[in-house]
Amino acid sequence: MAVAGGSAAALALGAELVARWAEPHRRYHTRTHLAAVLAAIDDLADEAADLAAVRLAAWFHDAVYDGRPGWDEERSAQLAQARLPACGVPAQRVAEVARLVRLTAAHDTLRPGDRNGAVLCDADLAILAAPPSGDRMPTTGRTSDDSMRAIGPVSGDFTPATALTYDGYARAIRQEYAHVPDVAFAEGRSAVLRRLLAAPALYRTPRARALWEERARANMTGELARLRAALAAAQPGGDETA
């Protein structure tokens, strides 16, 4: 299902988005991440109220990425609002796509009963349940033609979601914030992990909880412990081996 068919505007937009996701400064928010989110949406497809809107929102949710949380999502939402009407996407769906993109700035703003938002947010956080290394994620590992053609026919290589690991994800996030000193990054990252772990449930859809909740919590708990050890070692008189 190509939402906008094969129009010139849809083809141009597809090429633009693929190019944006391939920008050289990205380390985690790459086409690999996009493919992983689209694959996770396919796993959760039955939970969505407007699957086309969710797929479009996945394409746009990090289309603008400068490492400025909140601002990146706002600009990505504005990009969707500017580009999709020319592709023939109805105004109501354009508004829903923009709303969903903005949700990804802070997943904890999701309201009960928001089926589209739950699917997109769960798919965006599916990486938290990736294996540390080696084995495969508990997912189908396939991205449907419907997902990849949500804008229209596109080109470009997309790495399967199953190629991702949690350790690789954590390293890539650190690389995207390479300009932040180690201690400041560890403090900020620890705060994010504590906030996520404090939630009664990371995932909002029953299927996502069944697939990913347990492993995601184990991954984040392990990363948080490593960050705490690094922070302790950085203190005067700290012992790296403690």
CA-angle at 187, arms to 203 and 238, nearest 5°? 130
Q: How confident is the model at residue 158 (pLDDT cuts 50, 70, 90)?
A: very low
Q: How confident is the model at residue 178 (pLDDT cuts 50, 70, 90)?
A: very high
Q: How would you class 96 by CB atoms within 10 Å of its CB: exposed for 0-12, middle for 13-18, buried for 19 or more?
A: buried
Average pLDDT over residues 147-160: 51
pTM, whole model, 2 decimals? 0.86
Dihedral sign, Cα of residue 231, residue 235, residue 240, residue 241: negative
Measure the N-to-C terminal CA separation of the chain; round to a whole number of Å: 55
- Can you tell me the distance from the alpha carbon of 180 to that of 157, in angstroms, rounded to the nearest whole number? 30
Q: Which residue has the higher pLDDT, 2 or 217?
A: 217
pLDDT tens-digit readout, 9-25: 999 999 999 999 999 99
Q: How confident is the model at residue 157 (pLDDT cuts 50, 70, 90)?
A: very low
- Can you tell me the distance from the alpha carbon of 227 to that of 91, in angstroms, rounded to the nearest whole number? 45
- Can you tell me the distance from the alpha carbon of 54 to that of 151, in angstroms, rounded to the nearest whole number? 12
Highest mean pLDDT among 17-21, 142-146, 150-154, 160-164: 17-21
- Can you tell me the distance from the alpha carbon of 51 to that of 150, in angstroms, rounded to the nearest whole number? 10
91-103 vs 115-124: helix crossing angle, rounded to 10? 50
pLDDT, averaged across the chain: 87
Rounded to the nearest angstrom, the gap between the alpha carbon of residue 101 and the centroid of all alpha carbons in its chain is 10
- Can you tell me the distance from the alpha carbon of 4 to that of 87, in angstroms, rounded to the nearest whole number? 5
